[in-house]
Amino acid sequence: MLSAALPTTGAFVREHLRAPLTLALLVAIPAFFVLIFASVLGDFAKALGGTLAAQSATAVSAGWAAAFLSGTLAFFQVSSSRGADRRLASAGLGAWRVAVARIAAALAIGISVSAVAFVTLWLRSGIGHPLHAAVAIFSFAVIYIGLGALIGAFVKGALEGSLMVLLLFSLDAFSSPEMTLSGAFAWTPTRSAAELLIAAGGGHGSPSADWLGMAAVAVGAVGVALAAFWVAARTRS
């Protein structure tokens, strides 16, 4: 399966990056996001009644940048390539190989976006626990790849899908740990990743419960994304 899926993965990555502007945006937006929002997220958290320190706020901005870019990309991957993927599957590649290639491409781009956000974060303010922060930022990307792909599996319209990603992002922004006094939406998917990232940004370790929670959600997100890509490659419109 892998020998057939790997070249296809490379083709899928090139498909998204063939427009030079898209490639530039995937590098520039996470960097700008971290640089611009890092300076104001601490104030934003205080306005909401949260206790987020400036350095932790900077760390969260890196996670949100990776999440938003990866989620939007995954949505468009599923919604706009249904026809091509079905043809690829019918031509002999099979729906599973197409799905594996698609998710590998999404993860490769997610790693790149996360790496840019991580490096910007490190250069701007330093990171107490770099490895923890890197894993948490990538987990944000993986979780949103799952969410974006899930939306893409059910929502065909580009406007509706991008609005759904925006709505999810808003839910996260208002419910991130320590951003708010409110306990509402404590179940949001990126909560454990955010706890871990905030702790890493502040130079603290995290309890194993946060690691387990984050890993469970990230693995679940990969499963959801795989299923979404498979359904998109298999079903007829």
Partner 1 sequence: MTALARTRTATTMAFRDQLRRPLMLILIVVIPAYVITQAIAQTLATPRRIGLPDGVFITTTMKDLHGAGMGGVVIAFVAALLGVFVMQSALDGDRRLVVAGFRPGETVMARLLVLLSGTALVVAVAALVTALNFSAANWPALIVSLMLLGLIYAAIGALAGALLDKLAATYVMLFLVMTDLGVVQTPMFHVTPGRLAVLLPGYGPSRVMYDGAFSGPFHASAELLLSLGWTAALAVAVAIVLRRAVGDWG
Using CB under 8 A, list all residues that contact partner 1. 16, 19, 21-22, 25, 29, 32-33, 36-37, 40, 43-44, 46-49, 68-69, 72-73, 76, 80, 155, 157-160, 162-164, 166-167, 170-171, 174, 180-182
What is the secondary structure of 162-215 as a DSSP string? HHHHHHHHHHHHHHSTTTBS--TTTT-TTHHHHHHHHHHHTT----HHHHHHHH
Cβ 162 to partner 1 shortest distance, Å = 5
Judged by DSSP in three states, 188 sits in coil
Sequence letter at residue 184: A
Residue 90 in tokens: 């019918």
> Which lies closer to partner 1 via its Cβ, residue 38 or residue 218?
38
DSSP 185: T
> At its nearest, how many Å lie between partner 1 and the CB of residue 185?
9
Q: Which residue type is seen at 26?
A: L
SS3 181: coil
How near is the Cβ of 232 to partner 1 at its closest, in Å?
17
> Of the two residues 14 and 46, which places its CB atom closer to partner 1 in the complex?
46
| Residue 153 Cβ vs partner 1, minimum distance, rounded to whole Å | 14
State which residue, 51 or 125, has the beta carbon closest to partner 1.
51
